[in-house]
Structure formats: C-alpha cells, structure tokens
Amino acid sequence: MILETRGVMKSYGGPPVVREVSLAVREGEFFSILGPSGAGKTTLLRLLAGFEQPDRGEILLQGRPMAGVPPSRRPVNTVFQSYALFPHMTAEENIGFGPLMQGLPRDERRRRIDELADILRLDGLRNRRPAQLSGGEQQRVAIARALVNRPAVLLLDEPMAALDEQLRQSMTAELKRIQQRVGITFICVTHHQAEALALSDRLAVMEQGRLVQVGTPEEVYEAPASRVVAEFLGRSNMLAGLVRLIGPDRGELAVPRLNLAVGIPSRDLVNLSDGQDATLVLRSELVLVRNEGPHVESEAGVPVVVDQVDYAGTHWRYRLRLDGGVFWQAMVSNGNGHKRFSVGDRVYACWHRDDGFLLPE
C-alpha cells in the first residue's frame, strides 16, 4: 500500500467534515474519491497533502506516518482545482519551480522539464505566461509542475471542473494516458461520476464525510452499497416495498401503496428475510418502455404514464409517472426500431428481473 489512512477525523469546530475515513491505495493505481459537493472530499485531499492535520487517526505514506509532516516534506504533489499557476512566471518557470526549490542541479532540472513538456505536449507553450494559456493548457502545465517532482502520489482536486464539456472528455482520456505513462499513483477528487468511472482503477464514494463504498467502477456502479451511492452514481430509479418470500428461490417486493408486486432478482434472495423493508434500485438505461407488461417469468414491470419525453441524440429520455406520485426515468436507445411514445401514453416500464437490485433498508 502506497497510502493508507486509519480512522481519520477532521472538523473545523463544527460537526466533523471527515469522519472515520480508513482507506488503502495501491501503488500505481488511479484512485478516485467521488461524492457530491460538501461531502468532505477536498478536506480529505488537503489532509493527504498536508495542508491540514487530522484531529484523530493517522495517515501513512509509503508506510511512514505523516503526523506533523508539512506539505514540503511529503512525497506528494497537488494539482489544484484552479491550477494555482504562478502568474508572473512562464509555463517553464512554473514547471521548474519545484526542482529549483529542491536545489536540483541545473542539468537535472532541464532534463526533467524537457521530459514533462514532452509527456504533456507543452512544446511551443513553454515561454508563455498562464494568462496567455487556455484552460486546457493551464491544466497541462499544472499537472507537469506537480509530476516533475516525481511524487509517490499525485493528488488532483477536481481536475476537470474548470474545463468545458468537450475539453473535459478529451482530457479524461489524456489523463489516463499520462498516468499509465508515468506509472505514478493518482488520487483524484471529483464530483463528476462519468469522469470517475472512466478514469479509475478503483474509486471510493464519499457522503457526509464518510466513505460509503470502495471498489472498482463496475462493482460500485452495478452493485451500489446504499441508496445514496445508487442515487449519486446513476440516474437510478427506486421503489420501496416489503419483501415477501414465496418459495425457496422465489420472492417478490410488495408495494401495497401502489397495489403492486414485482419479482426479486434471485441472487438477492439469500440476503433477505420475509417481511423486511427493502428498496428496489433500477438504472434508467435498463428500463424497457413498451405497450405490454412483463410476459415471461424472468421479467418484471409496472404500469406507468409517460410524463415527459426528451430527445438526447443517442437516446430518448422518458419521465414516467407511477401511481402514488413516484417518478422514474428511462433512457431508451435511439435505434432498433424504437417507437416513440408521447406524453400521456399509458405504457409499462419493464426490466429483466436480474437487472434490478435490492437494498435492504
């Protein structure tokens, strides 16, 4: 483990911003900390960088405890959210600042700057000041300025937040390429789930100062550990009900309020007991919108009314109203002869039973 935290707590006088965070990051990993704003992600990153000291718990970097070690003595460097480039220095002077402060000899500094300028494709921009660089160029300089010091861990605070949507997508691929090329452990804080899913080897979801789930993107996306994670990660649909076990491998979720019962995925049955409260979670891209209800055993479905239809290029986005004021969302791929429904149509929202996911309350 290149970085470990054990029961780290931090508060600024009020309720804790970071609570009992225990985390282990492997060497060479692209690790993301994902969560809504105000979840304590940035504070956690500042604790790792050394700008803040934890109230309790410890942080180990390469096995060494970091209590009381200032940022300048830690084998980590940070890419700040607003990049924090020095405005009076050229791109090259910015990149060379760390090596200069470390007192590296001139040749070594030059070699490292050349190397990073090559990796980040900065040739031609080296003598420009930050004000003369675009947002994406500034970001590349900021990454180079941190990587040039060859840290054990690179910390990135919302690296894409200041970029527009198109640049964000190309920089996501670029960031992955850079990380693979330099082989340094990246820890990236973000509230942008698509970015975290695309980039990370593993990710942690943070909510109200706690880590609520850690795993690979597939694990976290496909098997969210809680409603909060499910809500945050995907446009997931929820349905709360009561578990009713019918046979050894059959069960259903009863929703008395809607006078409805839907089949429970068989893999979830082992974790559930009869009469338990549970929530069905279903990702919006797995919902089938059609005229007929479920026609085979392996399917489930509920009657809905089309409330809103949006065209989103690659797919249609439906807002569906269930009885009792519950709304679902369905993303239906724009192809395969999909017939478009209109607002007010009475249809069925169906899904393969095993695509649903049951979370005990």
Partner 1 sequence: MHDCRSSGASRWCYAGSLLWGLLAVGLPLLIVLAISFATRETYGWIRWDFSLANYRDLLHPLYVTIVWRSCAMAAAVTGICLLVGFPFAYVMARSSPRWQSFWLMMVLIPLWANFLVRTYAWIFILRTDGLLNTWLMQMGLIGEPITFLYTPWAVLIGLVYGYLPFMVLPVYASLEQVNPVLEEAARDLYASWWDLFIRLLVPLTVPGIIAGSVLVFVASLGSYLTPDLLGGARTMMMGNLLQHEFLVVRDWPLGSAFSIVLLLLVMVALWGYRRVTSAAGPQEFIR
The residues that touch partner 1, with contacts defined as CB under 8 A, are 49, 51, 70-72, 77-78, 80, 82, 84-88, 97-98, 101-102, 129, 131, 145-146, 149
Q: Using CA atoms, how far apart are residues 90 and 130, in angstroms rounded to an integer?
A: 7
Nearest approach, Cβ of residue 148 and partner 1 (Å): 9
Nearest approach, Cβ of residue 332 and partner 1 (Å): 44
Q: Using CA atoms, how far apart are residues 140 and 117, in angstroms rounded to an integer?
A: 9
95/171 with CB nearer partner 1:
95
What are residue 61's DSSP bridge partners? 3, 64
77/190 with CB nearer partner 1:
77
67/100 with CB nearer partner 1:
100
85/332 with CB nearer partner 1:
85
138/236 with CB nearer partner 1:
138
49/278 with CB nearer partner 1:
49
CB 304 within 8 A of CB 340: no
Q: Using CA atoms, how far apart are residues 68 and 108, in angstroms rounded to an integer?
A: 30
Q: Using CA atoms, how far apart are residues 96 and 83, in angstroms rounded to an integer?
A: 15
Nearest approach, Cβ of residue 41 and partner 1 (Å): 17
Q: Using CA atoms, how far apart are residues 115 and 275, in angstroms rounded to an integer?
A: 63
Nearest approach, Cβ of residue 98 and partner 1 (Å): 4
Nearest approach, Cβ of residue 325 and partner 1 (Å): 45
Nearest approach, Cβ of residue 130 and partner 1 (Å): 9
Q: Using CA atoms, how far apart are residues 298 and 285, in angstroms rounded to an integer?
A: 18
What are residue 279's DSSP bridge partners? 240, 359
Q: Using CA atoms, how far apart are residues 95 and 88, in angstroms rounded to an integer?
A: 13
Q: In what order do the strands lie in the sheet with 346-352?
A: 288-290, 346-352, 299-311, 315-321, 327-333
**Strands, E assignment, the chain:** 3-10, 18-25, 30-34, 56-61, 64-65, 76-79, 153-157, 185-190, 202-207, 210-215, 236-247, 250-255, 260-263, 277-283, 288-290, 299-311, 315-321, 327-333, 346-352, 357-360
154/196 with CB nearer partner 1:
154
Nearest approach, Cβ of residue 75 and partner 1 (Å): 11
